[in-house]
């Protein structure tokens, strides 16, 4: 007849097996009300949702693979992938205490104008390519970003028309201190842009530099550039924008 120790060992083994193989569909109802997983499949540790997201942001074909050993130090870590036609993204993700979020090896391509990037105004289209080696956020505000964002073939519904292509680069050295800093430049198109972006720890940002309309700019775009202010001797016009993420 099994001893008490054997019964306890068997019970622990059963519980461990159940935990390891816990279907994600059993855990889905425990998610916060703002987090959604449609048609869950697989296990909690390695699963898939036909559609997943938080709030109004939803992506298709989302899969993940958790790293359970980091739970021992209070961090939720996973390799996450989205195969949504409008957002093909892959990244290592870590969530820690105090609203801390870390991303590693973020790579992907997102369609501008698909409603996934609220930073771009309505009526814009194009492609955003992500190549970020590291990024850290606390309560949504960036603490550190190292990588490159390329926005190509930007267009705006009339009257804007073609807007060109741009690169925003965050370097390791520029990310040390009290703010995250990056450089913005055009990579071709109707506007010549050279600017610097500074994001404070509280989420306030400042973007300042110069811009100039090239000959390929539409009349409406050239008029909008002229409205920014007077040009210097080289034809460039200083500009400054500020806001909060």
List, for residues 158-181, the tens digit of each pLDDT value.
777 899 999 999 987 655 567 899
Instruction: Give the span between the Cα atoms of 84 and 50, in whole angstroms.
Output: 9
Q: How far is CA 25 from the centre of its chain?
A: 26
| CB burial readout 72-82, b (16+ within 10 A) else e | eeeeebbbbbb
Who contacts 139 (Cβ-Cβ below 8 Å, separation ≥6)? 99
Query: Does the structure show a pLDDT above 90 at 91?
Result: yes
Strand 87-96 to strand 76-84: parallel, antiparallel, or no bridges (unpaired)?
Answer: antiparallel
Q: Are 214 and 192 in contact (CB under 8 A)?
A: yes
Task: Compute the distance between CA of residue 207 and CA of residue 241 in angstroms, rounded to an integer.
Answer: 5
d(CA 15, CA 24): 16
pLDDT band at 70 (very low <50, low <70, confident <90, very high): low
**pLDDT tops 90 at residue 145:** yes
Reported as a single tens digit per residue, the pLDDT across 95-107 is 877 778 899 999 9
Examine the pLDDT at 199 and tell me if it is beyond 80: yes
Three-class SS of residue 84?
strand
Prediction pTM value: 0.82
CA distances from 62 to 66, 82, 105 (A): 13, 4, 17
Does 77 have pLDDT greater than 50? yes
């Amino acid at each position: 007849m099994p001893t008490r120790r054997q019964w306890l060992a068997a019970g622990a083994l059963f519980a461990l097996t159940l935990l390891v193989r816990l279907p994600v569909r059993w855990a889905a109802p425990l998610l916060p009300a703002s987090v959604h997983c449609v048609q869950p499949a697989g296990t909690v540790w390695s699963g898939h949702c036909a559609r997943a997201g938080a709030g109004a942001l939803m992506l298709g074909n989302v899969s993940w693979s958790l790293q359970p050993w980091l739970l021992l130090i209070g961090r939720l870590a996973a390799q996450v992938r989205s195969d949504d036609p409008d957002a093909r993204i892959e990244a290592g993700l870590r969530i820690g205490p105090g609203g801390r979020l870390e991303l590693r090896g973020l790579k992907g391509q997102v369609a501008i104008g698909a409603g996934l990037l609220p930073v771009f105004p309505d009526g814009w289209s194009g492609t955003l390519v992500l190549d970020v080696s590291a990024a850290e956020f606390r309560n949504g505000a960036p603490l550190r970003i190292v990588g490159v964002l390329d926005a190509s073939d930007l267009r705006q519904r009339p009257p804007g028309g073609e807007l060109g292509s741009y690169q925003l680069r965050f370097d390791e050295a520029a990310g040390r201190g009290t703010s995250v800093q990056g450089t913005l430049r055009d990579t071709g198109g109707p506007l010549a842009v050279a600017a610097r972006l500074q994001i404070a720890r509280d989420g306030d940002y400042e973007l300042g530099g110069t811009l100039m309309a090239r000959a390929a700019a539409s009349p409406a775009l050239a008029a909008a550039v002229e409205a920014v202010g007077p040009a210097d001797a080289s034809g460039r016009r200083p500009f400054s924008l500020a806001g909060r993420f």
